[in-house]
A and B are shown apart, each in its own frame.
Chain A
Amino acid sequence: MSVDPSLEINELISASHERVSIARDPVNRPMIHHLCDAMGDANPIYLDPEVARNAGHSDVVAPPAALQVWNMTNPSDPEISSDVDRAYGILEASGYPKVVAVNSEQEYERHLVPGDVLTAYEKVESLKGPKQTGLGEGYFITTLTEYKDQNDQLVGTMRFRTLWYTPAVGQEQDND
């Protein structure tokens, strides 16, 4: 049976503790090339410094949608628990064990260029529920991550919303 997770999670939201992660490597050309190779993206502003400069940039730029890439957890990093993980754990323990990603909203203040070193600040922003959804009863939880550069200037933000739910009876089928 499910219990109300909102009290505990709202406490985390008001405490507003951020998980801070500093990118191991600066934004760099080899990774931008590698990313474009994987995606089949041939936009010359990502690959050719001269075209990038003609387009008004100081160097090649990273595809804006790659904002998250630079601060991804390295496989060898020790696991550090954060309030986001705690909130997810509370939802799971409250009887909403299934999860689907719902939305991603990214906003970019400027293009990233090689040499930029990003720090990500991630926290739980909001919780909505319980709501009846097509998958079952659940809660929508939104995290906010702000990305700042080496001069402590905001370069982008990301909001990420997941739905944690109790599968509706007769709807056990997985459709992650």
Chain B
Amino acid sequence: MTAIAKTQLLVAPVITEGQQLPELKIPVTATLIATGAVATRDFQKVHHDKSVAQAAGTPDIFMNILTTNCLVNRYVSEFSGPLGRIKKINIRLGAPNYPGDEMTFTGTVQAVQGERIVLAINGTNSLGPHVTGTVELTFESQEETR
């Protein structure tokens, strides 16, 4: 992504009901799973040590839920841009993300109610839906964080 000129005015995208979000393909690598787990401070070995994961009955290490949530966050904020403010992420978890797979994010603008925008998102891998859910965001730029 190119750096945004610092003096540039940030502009919120025009968002309409029914609009499709651009697709995002995430290569699910052992690196993404292991670094994602540790960056989210989840040291459970099933997310970074293949022999432990296999002893636990899964074919390989698998993505932790915090990484899934953070990837949903990334997908939505790439669509909303820097002015988007995520208020809620509700997800249902499905097929695991194992190394060597690919997860494709798709999404639709489900509702636009004034400042409140609801997106329906879906991340599917070769086994089926890994994550489905809704994300709510706003663009109330005047609100201060503290």
Contact = CB atoms under 8 A, between A and B. Distances in A.
Interface of A: 31, 34-35, 37-45, 48, 50-52, 54-59, 61, 63-66, 68-70, 72, 74-75, 100-108, 110-111, 113, 174-176
A65 B83 contact: no
Contacts of B4: 44, 48, 51
Contact of B74 (A40, A54, A74, A111): A40
Nearest to A32: B39
A12 to B, nearest CB: 23
Contacts of B41: 69-70, 72, 74
Contacts of A64: 73, 86-87, 89
A66 B144 contact: no
B58 interface: yes
Interface in B46-99: 57-58, 62, 65-67, 69-74, 77-78, 82-83, 85-93, 95-96
A176 B74 contact: no
Given A34-B39, A65-B70, A176-B58, 9 more contacts: A35-B39, A38-B40, A39-B71, A63-B73, A63-B77, A69-B41, A69-B66, A104-B91, A105-B89
Interface residues of B, number: 49
B145 A38 contact: no
A14 B92 CA distance: 27
5 contacts: A55-B141, A56-B141, A63-B70, A65-B69, A175-B96
Given A38-B32, A58-B146, A108 B87 contact: yes
Closest 10 pairs (CB-CB, A-B): A65-B73, A72-B41, A38-B39, A65-B69, A42-B1, A38-B35, A41-B74, A105-B90, A64-B86, A56-B141
Nearest to A42: B1
Nearest to B136: A107
